[in-house]
Amino acid sequence: DGPKPSYERVLLKISGEALMGDQGFGLHPPTVSRIAQEVKSVHDLGVEICMVIGGGNIFRGLQGSAQGMERTTADYMGMLATVMNALAMQSALEGLGIHTRVISAIRMDEVAEPYIRRRAVRHLEKKRVCIFAAGTGNPYFTTDTAATLRASEMSCEAIFKGTKVDGVYDKDPNKYADAKRYEHVTYDEVLAKHLGVMDASAIALARDNKLPIIVFSLDEPGGFRGILSGQGTYTKVE
């Protein structure tokens, strides 16, 4: 059944845009199902999985405030958008027979569990996929920071950031043919060179908690499982 994964507990971070397919906005259920399959194939290996999904496919606080909306209100709207994405992922995963919990940083008891750290850890031990929704619950943050925070709290061994490219490049690989992918890069290099892996607060939090970030392509079928078993191309930030 292939090589054994070298991780026991991980956090998968994906942006909201990863769920919109080619639509340019919102949710594309076949794309959500495809990503759920990727998660299932890692869950099948016995790996404990946390997920954080962004909300940018529905609403971004900064965009709202640029159009005159009060910033914190716009950020709360962004956080609510992540809850919708989390519910869509929950539905897709449960359709594949995987037990999940959506755990929200903002209380909404009819829809999701409130975040209680020890309870979430217990879910993971029981091999339930924990989808952490509503970001950190605070405006002025991003879901990248939420991912780093939850991964630290849950003692994950690494954050896997699924993107459209297979790692971190020195320049945009879609624009420059000679763009070079880093195999390894330090947190400080990411910050100094503005490499755009995650926002600065997320990178700093990961650095302070010695939490590696592995950037890989989610567009590659079987990519998540491959990366967990040490195959495929990626960039490790540590």
- 173 annotated ligand-binding residue: no
CA dihedral 224, 228, 232, 234 (to 10 degrees): 80
Show Cβ contacts of residue 110 under 8 Å, excluding neighbours closer than 6 positions: none
Q: Between residue 32 and residue 91, which ones bind ligand UDP under the rule CB under 6 A?
A: 54-56, 60-62, 75, 78-79, 81-82
- Choose one: 23-31, 115-123, 134-142, 204-212; the region binding ligand UDP (CB under 6 A): 134-142
Which CB sits closer to ligand UDP, 135 or 223? Answer: 135
Burial of 67 (0-12, 13-18, 19+ CB in 10 A): exposed
212 annotated to a ligand binding site: no
Place of tokens 């529905």: 58
> Is the C-alpha dihedral spanning 205, 128, 40, 56 positive or negative?
negative
CB atoms within 10 A of CB 198: 25
**CA–CA gap between residue 142 and residue 135 (Å, rounded):** 7
CB of 202 to ligand UDP, least distance (A): 9
Q: Check whether 68 is labelled as a binding-site residue.
A: no
| 234 binding ligand UDP? (CB under 6 A) | no
Among residue numbers 143 through 172, which ones bind ligand UDP (CB under 6 A)?
143-146
Q: Which residues are annotated as a binding site for ATP?
A: 13-16, 56, 60, 163, 169, 172
Instruction: Please report, as ranges, the residues that interact with ligand UDP according to CB under 6 A.
Output: 15-17, 54-56, 60-62, 75, 78-79, 81-82, 135-136, 138-139, 141-146
